[in-house]
Amino acid sequence: MTDTQAKIAVVTGAGSGIGRAVAVELLRTGWSVALAGRRVETLEETAALVPGAPSIAVRTDVARPEDVAGLFGATVDRFGRLDLLFNNAGTFGPGGVPVEELPYDAWRHVVDTNLNGAFLCAQTAYRTMKEQSPQGGRIINNGSISAHAPRPHSVAYTATKHALTGLTKSLSLDGRPYRIAVGQIDIGNAATEMTRRMSTGVLQANGETAPEPMMDVAEVARTVRHMAELPLEANVQFATVLATAMPYIGRG
C-alpha cells in the first residue's frame, strides 16, 4: 500500500480466471474488494479463498447499466469510496467461427460484454472517483495480446480488444485533471479454465493446430497489484505479461 488507509477495489469477472486471481491477490494483501460477476455463488467461492478478508459479492451483468450502477453504489455504501477498478469481465464469444459465418447476435454479445461493459464500468468508476474526497483513483483495463495481433477466426474479440486500447488512452487523458490514472494490462496465455484448450492445441496463423506455452495466472495478479499500488503520480500506461515462448512476437 502507498499509505496506511485501506484501499477499495472493484473487480469485474471475479468469479473465475484472471478476475478471481487478481481479487484473491488484492484480498490477501489488505485490500477490500467488491467482487462482481454474473453468478453470486462463484463470487462467494472467490471470497472464501481468503477467509475473513473484507469483500462483498454483487451479481452484475456489466452490459446492463442498472447492474453497473448497483455495483458501484453497493461498493461505496459498504466501503465508503473507490480506489481501483480492475475492468476485467470479458468473453471470447464463439471460438473458431469464420467471419462470414459469425452470427450477428454473437458479435453483439461480445461487443456488449467486452467493450460496452468496460465503458459502463469505467464511466461509473470515473464519476465516483471524480466526486469523492480525496479525489482520484485508478482504472486498469484488461486488454489482451489480441489488442495487438489477432488469432484466426477471432474478429469480435479482437475488434473489442483493439477498441479497449482506445478507451484506455482516452480515459487516461480525460482523467488527468481529477487524479484518475488509467492503464491497461495485455495478457497472453495465462492458465485459466477459459484458456485450457491452448495447452492442448489451438489454430495458428499458418493453418496448423499446435499447443502453446502457458504461464501461471498468479503472475498476472502480481502485476496488476503492482500497477494498482503505485502512487497516483505514477502510472503503468500499458503492460504486457505473457508466457515467454508463446507465438506472439513474430505471430503470423
Which residues have C-beta within 8 Å of that of residue 147, sequence separation ≥ 6? 161, 162, 164, 165, 184, 186
Whether the CA torsion 176, 163, 42, 229 is positive or negative: it is negative
Burial of 130 (0-12, 13-18, 19+ CB in 10 A): middle
Which residues have C-beta within 8 Å of that of residue 215, sequence separation ≥ 6? 189, 190, 191, 241, 242, 243, 244
Cell triple for residue 219? 503472475
- Is 104 annotated in the active site? no
Catalytic residue among 104, 126, 157, 178: 157
Residues with catalytic roles = 157
